Amino acid sequence: MTAYDRLAARFARMATLGEASSVLSWDAATMMPTGGGVARGDQLAVLAGMQHTLLVAPGVDEDLAEAEAAEETDEWRTANLRLMRHAYTRATALPPDLVEAEARANSACEKVWREARRLSDFAMVRSHLEEVVHLAREAAAALASALDLDPYDALMDGYQRGMRTTDVSQVFSDYQAFLREALPRAEERQARNPAPLRPAGPFPIAVQEALCRRIAERLGLDFAHARLDRSAHPFSGGTPTDVRITSRYDEADFTQAVLAVVHETGHALYERGLPSAWARQPVGEAAGMAAHESQSLIVEMQACRSDAFLAWLGPELHAAFGGQAVPYGSANLARMWRRVGRSLIRVDADEMTYPAHVILRFQLEQALVAGSLTVADLPGAWNDGFHSLLGIEVPDDRRGCLQDIHWYDGAFGYFPSYTLGAMAAAQLMAAARRSVPGLDAALERGDLAPLLGWLRSNVHGKASLLEFNELLSQATGKPLDPSDFKAHLAARYLS
């Protein structure tokens, strides 16, 4: 075997362990009895340890150096080797005692955070978060040195390769200026329109679940390689040949179930579209968290909340639930599912104000990592920043800096991916409309095949061959540009 072949075999074994972890994690969220939690934690920890041991084992660095010195002309193998080196550099940059300390601190903080959020008591978790932030700064410094990046960039690199703070700051600043002008106009326009009619329930959960499965199939999800189950919080997991999506159901309102399923189906379609020839290799994985979010949002926000798709979906909903037909008309569904409003909670925010929630977190976590903001001052900084961005007061920490798990679980650098993904989704949809004749006519028939075919060629099939901006440039003719997202919002909410 050549050095490259040995590395490919090693990374395939690591990926297989990761697949087992993913299915175990899905089971823990959907089917595992509560008493299995401790053992499941042990199982996942052992698998993670085995992956790390394989990655940093003696001889890996020598194989990397030998493979890099060899003549290589295939762009996929070249990219795969580059990603192997990147993974090895990140893994060996962090001392084992720091990795263990982070795992312990994150776990302890996350447990206290759950109670602190319930009681809206930031003081309860402050000391735990201080330790998490302290260790995150140590990790950021170590990674920055190994990767030749700034510390916060090194943390973002763990979620979306290739994006830098300067890139993100530029597009976020541009969007802030747009939002200041556009949000009052959207609110004024919305106030002049009639309020949406709410379909009359109840909506039996079994009917909702069957409908959601039919919608996912209509969108292109093959249930020979997928499952739809229930969980407390919707998510997508599993493996490219065995994707697992979940939703949650409310008999009084089918909205969250349907929209969660179309969102998670977008994630699942991306995984299913990854090139099988590069399965279990770094280059065959999704291109990052922002890229993944772009695929869920191009399906949910760009396609399935469009006027065209709602014209197909309305009769499907009416056939499933009965009652008056008027609330299921496309215009009424649009008023229900495309409303803007200043709200406190990120996960409930509309697509126009959601980026403000992300921008706030991006600014604050940069300051925490840099040391210019102390954990003790976080609640005040949050409240001031939120008021500056959206003009509303934060009444308590439960609806302020305690609302998200991410920081309390040590996930710094993750938040930008949400809005970068939304912007990329709009940019990709604009390019698809230019390239695919009759795309909206197909959506009116509930047919995503033309859009999915374009995504298969331009996004899914590229996997991690390209970095985020390179992927967008090849697919759309330019790197990430918020103008398409702003144009989408203007067309939907201002005209």
Active site residues: 264
Contact criterion met (CB below 8 Å) for 221 and 267: no
- Taking every pair of Cα atoms in the chain, the longest distance, rounded to a whole number of angstroms, is 70
Q: Is 495 exposed, middle or buried (0-12, 13-18, 19+ CB in 10 A)?
A: exposed
Overall size of the chain counted in residues: 495
**Given strand 242-247, what is the order of strands in its sheet?**
226-230, 242-247, 236-239
- Kindly give the residue spans of alpha helices, DSSP state H, lying in 249-347: 255-273, 289-297, 307-321, 330-337
96 vs 78: CA distance, rounded Å: 29
Please name the amino acid found at residue 46: V
**285 sits in which H/E element:** none
Coil, strand or helix: which one is 226?
A: strand
Q: Is 313 exposed, middle or buried (0-12, 13-18, 19+ CB in 10 A)?
A: buried
For every residue of 74-141, DSSP letters joined together read -HHHHHHHHHHHHHHHHHHHS-HHHHHHHHHHHHHHHHHHHHHHHHT-HHHHHHHHHHHHHHHHHHHH
370 vs 400: CA distance, rounded Å: 21
54 vs 14: CA distance, rounded Å: 7
User: Which one, of 269, 297, 294, 268, lies nearest residue 421 by Cα?
Assistant: 294
- DSSP letter at 298 equals I
User: Which one, of 131, 149, 128, lies nearest residue 140 by Cα?
Assistant: 149
Q: Tell me the C-alpha to C-alpha distance, in Å, between residue 189 and each of 110, 192, 193, 234.
A: 42, 5, 7, 32
User: Which one, of 401, 382, 361, 415, lies nearest residue 124 by Cα?
Assistant: 401
Please name the amino acid found at residue 270: Y
Q: What angle do CA 116, 121, 123 make, to 5 degrees?
A: 100
- Kindly give the residue spans of alpha helices, DSSP state H, lying in 162-274: 165-192, 205-219, 255-273
